[in-house]
Amino acid sequence: MSAEDQIKKTVTDNDVVLFMKGTKSMPQCGFSSRVAGVLNYMGVDFADVNVLEDENLRQGIKTYSDWPTIPQLYIKGEFVGGCDIVTEMTLSGELDDLFSKNGVTYDKEAADKIREANA
């Protein structure tokens, strides 16, 4: 299976996917750690894909999304963004809206606590 086919299958088969360096329990870069930390704290069930395990996948995700950096978050097959965008969306409440709109379960109180701590 090509990297593109593998990526397409992963984002289609899972409601929320984070392509990252490392895993959700052991991130291997600060940006991946931040996004995985937000998702974990908010109680979001997400698939993590460690791009460090496969160079074809690591380059393939950049081509697939036309986005040069990792991590990359997908919700219901749609590319959301990287660390800065996810951080901004979390703080503005847009990520909550996106989860709600797509039927993704998350902890609203935890999301509010993130915003309170960063106000």
CATH superfamily of 3-117: Glutaredoxin (3.40.30.10)
- Structure tokens, 59: 């380059």
Known binding residues: 29
Known binding residues for [2Fe-2S] cluster: 29
> 119 falls in which pLDDT band (50, 70, 90)?
confident
> Distance between CA 114 and CA 103 in Å, rounded?
21
> 10 falls in which pLDDT band (50, 70, 90)?
very high
Q: What is the dihedral of CA 97, 20, 30, 46, to 10 degrees?
A: 40
Percentage of the chain surpassing pLDDT 90?
A: 98
User: Identity (one letter) of the amino acid at 19?
Assistant: F
> Distance between CA 87 and CA 5 in Å, rounded?
28
pTM of the predicted protein model: 0.96
- Structure tokens, 40: 């974990």
> Tokens 């996810």 sit at which residue?
86
